[in-house]
Amino acid sequence: MRNWKLLSVWPVLGLIVIGVLWFAEQSQVELDRRAAANDGLRDAATLSKAYARYIDRSLEQADQLSLFIQHEWEHRGNSLKLEELSQLGIFPASQYAFVSIINRDGIVLTGSLSATSVNSLADRDYFQFHKHHADTSLRIGTPTVGRISKRIVIQLTRRLVDGQGNFDGVLLIAVEPAQLTSFYDNASFGKHGLLALIGQDGRVRAGRVGEDMLQLPHEHALPLIAGDVATSALYDRQWFADRQARYVGQSPLGHFPMVAIAGFSEQERLSPYQDTWHAFEMFAVAGTIVIVMFIVIAGLLSARLIWRNQRESEVRLTYRLATESGHDGFYMLRALRDRSQQVVDFEVADCNERGAAFTGLPSSQLVGKLLSQLYPKPYFYVVLDMFRKAMEEGFNESELQIPPESPVKLEWIEYKMIRSGTGLALTARDISHAKRHERELWNMANEDALTALPNRKWMAAHLPGALKRAEDSGEMLALLFIDLDDFKDVNDTQGHSAGDELLRLAAERIKAVLRPSDYVVRLGGDEFIVILNPVADKSHVVHVADRIANTLKQPASLSATTQDTTGQRIASIAASIGIAIFPGDGTDIETLLKNSDIAMYHAKAEGKGHFRFYDQSLSDNLTRRLDTERALQLSIEQNRFELFYQPRVDSVTGELRSMEALVRWRHPERGLVLPLEFIPLAERSDLIMRLGTLIVNLACAQIAQWQDQGYPVVPISINVSPRQFHRGDVYALFASALSRHHVNAALVEIEITESLMMGEAENIDATLSKLRKLGIKLLIDDFGTGYSSLSQLQRLDMDVLKVDRAFTSELGLSREGEVFFNAIVSMAHALGMSVVAEGTETLEQLEVLRGLGCDEVQGFYVARPVTASEAGVMMRKRFLLPEAPNRL
Ligand code: C2E
Ligand code: CA
Ligand code: CA
């Protein structure tokens, strides 16, 4: 319906224009016609007046002539010869056809023409009229064929009377009608002018139309208009034989009962206008043709346009129906351009409900909105740029993370833009869910589940790019390899949940001291990597490494360990940090990682809790270490170990109480190697398990051998590494070694360090109590260096406390040393344990120890570690203190 209205606009407009055109043309013609008619009527009236005057004069002349002849005839009577007068030129032939006098009997008496052949004229109308009418004025007859002239003439007659006034005859002047119409000239009347003389009686006396004389008396007379002034009117064609309408003027004659008629052909009068009118008409016709063509073309074009719009809206509707049901948002955007044709904004021309819902508006409100109204600046310009690009390139497709300032309340969309006509068709799909899922998957692959830090896989993907960027910009990048110290112990002794908590805490703390551009990665276990990028100079790295070490060291309470009666445990994490710097210490991930690891290893070996930069020598050290490790392994297989023994004696009597087995490695090149050089290595690499088994068996075999050889064997104390307790079955190891070598459990003691007892591990408690039940004494080694509390010692029911050498060496040097030692002794005694002072090197120390009530001593003052055979000698000797006075 709307389309039809649109379509009919052109024809209607066109018809109006055509109407106006023709109306203008017609009214111009009408104006001209009216002007012509006015002129024609006026001229006709004027001319008829002139004609009337002319005829008046002519008739008056004839009248005077008749009076003159009458007069002559009254005086000269029959002697008057009109022939003579004619010869004198009194009756010009051009004016009068003839003049004659007729007697009372109708006989022609005299005349300008010979009338001998004519009999009586008494029967003529005029004769009868004059005979019976006394009127002596000139009578004007109607055209009649004259008997004398033999032509059509108009007879002007006058009554002649005798002396008594009786009818005496008639004076006749014949005038040819042509004489009366000679007034006609082409200049005034044109070719089809009208000239006529009509009597008041309505009968035509003379007349002509153009060149033609009226064929009297056949012509109809024109209806006369009454009045004594000149008038005019338009007589239509029916009045005239030539079927031409005429403007006709009528004027009564002054002295005769006649009306003079003059007229013009309407057609002739209008002919000067005809050309103009014709031109007008042609113009109007041409205009009409042009307009009609215009209507047709415009109609066709708009029909096409309408058809297209129709199709477009159909397509849009179909598309809308299709899209409305789908999950995609669909928008039609119209590009708005400025004068320079630059796209400056877009208008939402259409959208589906889904698409509108993305913006939180109903589609009825979204449609018609401008982008600039929807998007806040400056984000609007970002969006505009994107859309402009799509306009230029015709197509654009991508995924987009929606920033918070966008009116679209989704996280991620996938969009497709296609240029269509003057705008863009845009479809958008909500892929937030898929993206979230993707991110979760990515996280699962790239993130450490425990600490939520990026993992090794992430680092492997991230580092090459970072290295490339650092290389391009000429900047340095630092890799910090962080390994928590003694984490294994925490895990082993306090349980995995405590270990997990510690790792999370470490992760948080490390992260907190870094810049946003730096990363922490959890490599696995208690190993972290920090990537510092960029690095201006080494001092910055030092600063960061310091901060990391310090922040980790801060005490923290762990909630995961709940069993302890003292409440929450306080954990302080130390970490060893190794640093490798790109590009100096390596240009690829593997090298950088390896070198930072090496540096970390050395930091740890040098005493833990601090950092170390990588350098080539470290690498060399490591190589050496690895060599050592390999050699150690080989030596274990080849049983290249030997036990030395160091006695432990009563502090007062010097009597041998026990021998401590101290392992030595018979290295093929290096000779005898002390345990501090390989025990830590063995502990790190789990070689300690096999080495430990070897040592226990060596000791038991030695005991058996001494017994076989008849030595008075004292108990042998064997050092067992905490790792052996955590990893292996120490009870089974001892039980099987004792039985294999037929050794009494009472001859074996176990030295364990404090750190073993810090944990809550129940299985260790159980192992220890099983060993005691077996008859093995338990000694706490290196007491005072760890963190064990009194309550733990009490719970574990230990037999002997070996106070670390560090405290013994203080004795005699400071008062504090003694106070501390004294406290330990009284505490141990209160718990039912005896106390051994390790590292007693001087007599002075020995005497102080005796004073403090220390039960036993061990150290170089008594004896250095010795070989098995020397030990046998010592067993026999039994009292080992060098001072004579104390020997009983
Ligand atoms: P430890 O258990 O504290 O052993 C005592 C260490 O102190 C021995 O060193 C010994 O030679 C040394 N020593 C004894 N008296 C003195 C003294 O008066 N002054 C000084 N300066 N040192 C003294 P060694 O034999 O080198 O052993 C070192 C450490 O290696 C031991 O410390 C122990 O922890 C470990 N170790 C030794 N043998 C074994 C073993 O068979 N198994 C395990 N797991 N560890 C062992
Ligand atoms: Ca020991
Ligand atoms: Ca010790």
Atom 15, ligand 1: residue with shortest CA distance:
859
Q: For residue 782, which atom of ligand 1 is closest to its CA?
A: 3
**Ligand 1: nearest atom to the Cα of 644:** 25
What is the Cα–Cα distance from 802 to 539, expressed in whole angstroms?
A: 44
Could you say which ligand is closest to the alpha carbon of residue 836? 3
Which pLDDT score, from 0 to 100, does residue 566 have?
A: 45
Angle between helices 815-830 and 843-852 (to 10 degrees): 50
What value does the mean pLDDT take over residues 321-345?
Answer: 85
pTM over 0.75: no
Confidence of residue 235 (pLDDT cuts 50, 70, 90): confident
Tell me which amino acid residue 594 is. K
Cα within 13 Å of Cα(173), Cβ side: 29
Average pLDDT rounded to a whole number, residues 380-404: 89
User: pLDDT category, 226, cuts 50, 70, 90?
Assistant: low
Q: What spacing in Å lies between the alpha carbon of 623 and ligand 2's midpoint?
A: 30
How remote is the CA of residue 792 from the centroid of ligand 2, in Å? 20
| Atom of ligand 1 at shortest range from CA of 808 | 18
Mutate to test the pocket of ligand 1, among 649, 660, 694, 719 (most ligand atoms within 8 A of CB): 719
CA angle 110, 112, 115 (to 5 degrees): 60
With vertex at residue 212, the alpha carbon angle to CA 209 and CA 213, rounded to the nearest 5 degrees, is 85
pLDDT band at 560 (very low <50, low <70, confident <90, very high): low
For residues 546-571, average pLDDT:
68
Q: Which residue has the higher pLDDT, 119 or 226?
A: 119
Number of the ligand closest to the Cα of 804: 3
- Residue 240: its pLDDT value, please? 79
User: Which ligand is nearest to the Cα of residue 676, counting in written order?
Assistant: 1
Q: How far is CA 381 from each of CA 360, 377, 385, 399, 752, rounded to the nearest angstrom?
A: 21, 7, 6, 18, 72
Nearest ligand to residue 842 Cα: 1
Separation between Cα atoms, residue 686 and residue 672, nearest integer Å: 22
What pLDDT score was predicted for residue 571? 65
Q: Distance (Å, rounded) from C-alpha 838 to C-alpha 835? A: 10
**CA 642 to ligand 1 centroid distance, Å:** 14
Q: What is the largest CA-CA distance in the chain?
A: 238
Alpha helices of 729-837 — where are they, by DSSP H?
730-740, 755-758, 762-774, 790-796, 805-810, 815-830
* Distance, CA of 179 to CA of 55 (rounded, Å): 10
pLDDT in tens, 105-154: 888 888 887 777 778 888 888 999 999 988 888 898 888 888 888 888 88
Atom of ligand 1 nearest to the CA of 661: 41
Give the closest ligand to the alpha carbon of residue 784: 3
720: CA distance to ligand 3 center in Å? 11
Query: Rounded CA gap, 580 and 530, in Å?
Result: 11
Centre of ligand 2 to C-alpha 750, Å, is 9
Residue with tokens 């909630």: 559
Give the number of the atom of ligand 1 that is nearest the alpha carbon of residue 646. Answer: 14
- With a CB cutoff of 8 Å and minimum separation 6, the contacts of 842 are 812, 861
State yes or no: pLDDT of 301 exceeds 80: yes
Rounded Cα distance between 282 and 276, Å, is 10
Of all residues in the chain, the percent with pLDDT exceeding 70 is: 95
156: three-class secondary structure by DSSP: strand
Helices (H), 495-644: 496-512, 538-553, 589-605, 616-638
Predicted local distance difference test score (pLDDT) of residue 218: 45
pLDDT computed for residue 734 by the predictor: 97
Tell me, what's the pLDDT at 636? 93
CA–centroid distance, residue 662 to ligand 1 (Å): 6
Residues in contact with ligand 1 by the CB-under-6-Å rule are 646, 661-663, 674-676, 679, 695, 719-721, 751, 781-782, 838-841, 859-860, 865
Candidate of 632, 651, 662 to mutate for ligand 1, largest count of ligand atoms within 8 Å of Cβ: 662
Residue nearest to atom 37 of ligand 1 (CA): 662
* 3-state SS record for 807-859: HHHHCCCCHHHHHHHHHHHHHHHHCCCEEEECCCCCHHHHHHHHHHCCCEECC
Minimum CA distance residue for ligand 1 atom 8:
662
Q: Ligand 1 atom 27: the closest Cα is on which residue?
A: 675
Atom of ligand 1 nearest to the CA of 675: 30
User: CB count, 10 Å around CB of 587?
Assistant: 12
Judge whether residue 447 has pLDDT over 70: yes
Taken in order 729, 732, 734, 737, the sign of the CA dihedral is negative
Mean pLDDT of 337-361: 89
Q: Which of residues 226 and 794 earns the better pLDDT score?
A: 794
Rounded mean pLDDT of 415-425? 87
Span between the terminal Cα atoms of the chain, in Å: 136
Find the 804 Cα to ligand 3 centroid distance in Å: 6
> pLDDT tens digits for 185-217?
888 888 888 888 888 877 888 888 887 777 654
Reported as type and span, the H/E element at residue 131 is helix 125-132
Q: Indicate whether 492 pLDDT > 80.
A: no
* 126 Cα to the center of ligand 2, angstroms: 193
Residue nearest to atom 11 of ligand 1 (CA): 865
What is the per-residue pLDDT for 562?
Answer: 44
Task: Report, as an integer, the average pLDDT of 707-715.
Answer: 96
Tell me how far the alpha carbon of residue 749 lies from the centroid of ligand 1, in angstroms.
Answer: 15
Which ligand has its closest atom nearest to the C-alpha of 646? 1
| Sign of the dihedral defined by the CA atoms of residues 572, 625, 631, 627, in that order | positive
How many C-alpha atoms does 568 have within 13 Å on its Cβ side? 11
Cβ pair 645, 863 in contact under 8 A: no
SS3 per-residue string spanning 472-527: HHCCEEEEEEEEECCHHHHHHHHCHHHHHHHHHHHHHHHHHCCCCCCEEEEEECCE
- The CA 880 to ligand 2 mean position distance, Å, reads 19
Measured from the alpha carbon of residue 679, the closest ligand is 1
Alpha carbon distance 844, 887 (integer Å): 17
CA distance 31 to 270: 12
Q: Tally Cβ neighbours within 10 Å of residue 640.
A: 17
pLDDT tens figures, 497-540: 888 888 998 999 999 999 988 999 999 888 999 999 888 888 99
DSSP 124: S
State the distance from the centre of ligand 1 to the C-alpha of 350, rounded, in angstroms: 88
Q: Which ligand 1 atom lies nearest to the CA of residue 858?
A: 15
What does R_g of the chain's alpha carbons equal in angstroms?
76
848/836 Cα distance (integer angstroms): 13
Q: Which residue owns the Cα nearest ligand 1 atom 38?
A: 662
Dist. CA 508–CA 205, nearest whole Å: 142
35 Cα to the center of ligand 2, angstroms = 149
pLDDT tens digits for range 632-687: 999 999 999 999 999 999 999 999 999 999 999 998 888 999 999 899 889 887 89
Using CA positions, which residue lies closest to atom 30 of ligand 1?
Answer: 675
Report yes or no: 660 and 668 within 8 Å, Cβ to Cβ. Answer: no
Give the per-residue pLDDT at 567: 47
pLDDT the model gives residue 238:
81
The pLDDT score that the predictor gives to residue 640 is 95
The Å distance, Cα 859 to ligand 3 centre, comes to: 10
Task: Give nearest CA residue, ligand 1 atom 10.
Answer: 865
Using CA atoms, how far residue 493 sits from 503, 558, 731, 750, 768, in Å, is 15, 14, 18, 19, 14
